[in-house]
Amino acid sequence: MKYIRVGRVEDFPANSCQVISLPDGEPVVVINLEDELHVLEGRCSHGGHSLERTTIVESEDKVLCPWHGWEIDLERGVCLAAPDHVLKKYPVRLEAGEVLIGR
């Protein structure tokens, strides 16, 4: 598996969600939940809309789709209201303060 650099750890503040584009233009959403990074594909698996306004469900390992209100499990990328809708989850590695995403 090839890993690509997407930024530094400080580029992704604690308890935030940020959509970025990979070098090939593919959007991903980087979620920093209590200093643990998760990366999911950056479009809703139901409607294909950007997850730019995704929010973290407080004190749970979930984010909320801004378009449908569906909760998405961060560990598996599964939409809890519609388990057949799954977002691709990318492996994340940290090296010397750099955030790397596996492709």
pLDDT tens track for 11-67: 999 999 999 999 999 999 999 998 899 999 998 877 778 888 888 987 689 999 888
Please tell me the pTM assigned to this model: 0.91
pLDDT given at position 50: 86
In CATH, what number is assigned to the domain containing residue 72?
A: 2.102.10.10
Query: What range defines the domain where residue 75 resides?
Result: 3-102
Q: Each residue of 72-93: pLDDT tens digit?
A: 999 999 999 999 999 999 999 9
Tally of domains in the chain: 1
Task: Say how many Å lie between the first and final Cα of the chain, rounded.
Answer: 6
Rounded to 5 degrees, φ, ψ at 11 are -70, -15
pLDDT given at position 74: 94
